[in-house]
Amino acid sequence: MNAMPLVIGAIAVFLLAYRFYYAFISAKVLMLKDERTTPAHRLYDGQNYIPMNKWVLFGHHFAAIAGAGPLVGPVLAAQFGYMPGFLWMLIGAVVAGAMHDFVILVASVRHDGKSLAEIARVEVSKVSGITASFAIILIIIVALAGLGMVVINALAESPWGTFTIAATIPIALIMGIWMFRIRVGKTVEATIFGVILLSLAVIYGRYVPGSPIASWFTFDHKTLTILIAGYGFIASVLPVWLLLSPRDYLSSIMKISVIAMLAVGIIIVAPELQMPAFTKYIHGGGPIIPGTLFPYLFITIACGAISGFHSLVSSGTTPKMLSKESHLKFISAGAMLTEGIVSILALIAASSLLPLDYFQINIPVEKFAAIEPSLHAMGFTHSNLAALSKDVGETIAGRTGGAVSLGVGMAYIFSSIPGLNGLMSYWYHFAIMFEALFILTTIDAGTRIGRFVLQEALGKVYKPFARTNWLPGNLIASGLIVFAWAYLIYQGSVTTIWPMFGAANQLLATIALAIGTSFIINRGKAKYAWCTIIPMLFVGTTTITAAIQNLKNIYFPQLLVEKTVVQGTVNTTLTILILICVIIILCDSIPRWIQTIQGKRPLIIDKEN
């Protein structure tokens, strides 16, 4: 099938959903009003609470939520065929993901920019608040460690990527000072300056390898871990306007520009999707994802349809910088639907490869020979891998994880555009660098969000911690969060717990949707609670099923083998703990919904100013 109708159709569906469905949600369900003073104005401190231009805030929010998930998940899920992933991202982003992000961002804005855990404490109960706090801190540390590992693997011994990403830091600092101190509010000027310098860094970064300064930007895994941990700490501690927000805004410009180029490239090239719509692996036994389509598709593709991590951003940095409530739809639903497009384009890029090449890239070399006959039996007999490896200048067989196959797919489409052929190697290395940039913006924002959640928790013990602008609390909480995720990467421990993150992340989405439902019902809008209950039931059912299957088929068997007993113990313990958290919050929330609907609990009235 030709890819062009899928791209155009998806864009049309997302535009219609944004224009009509989310206009209805804004007016009837969440009742947005610009007359309400947002926390950015009411609690302004010049550090964390600061009104931000809506385009800059959109850039920050999109950069923070769009990590590895929208790029890697759809690529790995292509083993089921292109259609299951396409449909889940198309429907999931509209019905589940954008609603999830929207309602939590609104709830946080109405609760003075507080975290998901604090919202749960007020909207449900103290028990749910404590439970959510525990689950969030656990998940965010695992997420940041896993994402950090992906970035480090991409940048290790890669001076081009390291140089380009390092260049975004001073550029962002200058942009922040320009927009907020020298030429206050002159966003366009700062944007032009930033885009020009970033473009130069990307273009001339390719000449860094082999140059006299190559050694300045060439690092091994452990050194990069320390450097990225240092950056994460600084980005968490500094005022949000100085580094984090302008750098995320700058990164989003590059992200969206590249994705727009990819969309245009697909429309121009109109590549044929080589992967069939469905493969036999929907029934299980796949070489990349062993499980069946249900439930594993729905935890493999997270960010492109719905992701619990988004609720942390929507109740973390973003609500503290919102200038007007009328910006909420654009920033939350708009960013999520944009991410849905990113995911669909990633799926198409991977599916444009010959299936045999796709599997040969994503299966370890030592295992491919045993699987190859079954792939031939499925009709996957043609390969172009040798030519692809020559064109990109690297051996790409057995480069598992999805990043390389996505890079090759993107490079193939870009180099097929008239006038750009013969640049396969350039586009491949550009794509790998682009993926690292895509993910790093989640780490800096995630560290700051983790700091907020930890400060709220520690504030229950010692009140000054609850003040986000209290410098000692800022330094201590940032240091603890950074140390936790960096230690897991440095010691290699993250590889033990990363496999359970997919299920844990979606279980967090279930928790967030339950809290969002409480928010809607507590404001007398129970007749609209289906907006969050339907996606909560679906995501909860699929993810709890996946978690139970992981325990039964993967983690429990690991306990019986001496070599994997530690990994099995850790994954079993963490999965069970997250499941318990979900059950506690659901069992705490549902009776309170019924009581509120019956008039036995008072409604919550939001302040108008």
Structure confidence by residue, pLDDT tens digits, 390-410: 888 777 888 877 778 888 888
Cβ-contact 429, 421 below 8 angstroms? no
Residue 495 has pLDDT above 70, yes or no: no
List C-alpha distances in Å: 605 to 126, 324, 522: 19, 19, 8
End-to-end CA, the chain = 54
Between CA 593 and CA 308 the distance in angstroms is 22
Residue 439 has pLDDT above 80, yes or no: no
Cβ-contact 231, 247 below 8 angstroms? no
Going by C-beta distance under 8 Å and a sequence separation of 6 or more, which residues neighbour residue 522? 123, 596, 601, 603, 604
Q: How many residues does the chain have?
A: 609
Residue 16 has pLDDT above 90, yes or no: yes
Residue 22 has pLDDT above 70, yes or no: yes
Residue with tokens 């139970």: 548
DSSP 36-77: SPPHHHHT--SSS-----HHHHHHHHHHHH-SSHHHHHHHHH
Between CA 235 and CA 451 the distance in angstroms is 11
List C-alpha distances in Å: 74 to 11, 82, 405, 506: 17, 9, 11, 15
Cβ-contact 193, 174 below 8 angstroms? yes
Give the mean pLDDT of the chain: 90
What count of other Cβ atoms lies within 10 Å of the Cβ of residue 471? Answer: 10
Residue 13 has pLDDT above 70, yes or no: yes
Residue 63 — very low, low, confident or very high, per pLDDT cuts 50/70/90?
confident
- Catalogue all structural domains in the chain, each as residue range(s) with its CATH number: 4-156+219-509 (1.10.4160)
Between CA 204 and CA 212 the distance in angstroms is 14
Residue with tokens 């983790």: 450
State which amino acid sits at residue 206.
R
Chain segment 424-438, per-residue pLDDT in tens: 877 887 777 777 776
Percent residues over pLDDT 90 in the chain: 56
List C-alpha distances in Å: 216 to 164, 226, 495: 12, 15, 28
Between CA 115 and CA 450 the distance in angstroms is 10
Chain segment 227-270, per-residue pLDDT in tens: 999 999 999 999 998 988 898 888 888 888 888 888 888 888 88
- Among residues 146, 120, 143, the alpha carbon closest in space to that of 133 is found at 120
Cβ-contact 167, 247 below 8 angstroms? no
Residue 494 has pLDDT above 70, yes or no: no
Residue 109 — very low, low, confident or very high, per pLDDT cuts 50/70/90?
very high
In this predicted model, which residue has the larger pLDDT, 521 or 64? 521
Element (H, E) at 143: helix 126-155
pLDDT number for residue 496: 63
Percent residues over pLDDT 70 in the chain: 98
- Among residues 340, 414, 361, the alpha carbon closest in space to that of 86 is found at 340
- What does the pLDDT average to over 189-197? 90
- Could you tell me the two tokens for 220? 């091994």
Residue 284 — very low, low, confident or very high, per pLDDT cuts 50/70/90?
very high
Residue 115 — very low, low, confident or very high, per pLDDT cuts 50/70/90?
very high
Residue 476 has pLDDT above 70, yes or no: yes
pLDDT number for residue 276: 96
pLDDT number for residue 312: 93
Chain segment 295-353, per-residue pLDDT in tens: 999 988 888 899 999 999 999 999 999 999 999 999 999 999 999 999 999 999 999 99
Weakest-pLDDT range from 4-8, 27-31, 162-166: 162-166
pLDDT number for residue 252: 86
**2 forms bridges with which residues in the sheet?**
272
Going by C-beta distance under 8 Å and a sequence separation of 6 or more, which residues neighbour residue 205? 160, 161, 163, 164, 167, 433
Weakest-pLDDT range from 36-45, 99-108, 113-122, 364-373: 364-373
DSSP 289: S
Residue 586: helix, strand or coil by DSSP? helix
DSSP 19: I
Residue 61 has pLDDT above 90, yes or no: yes
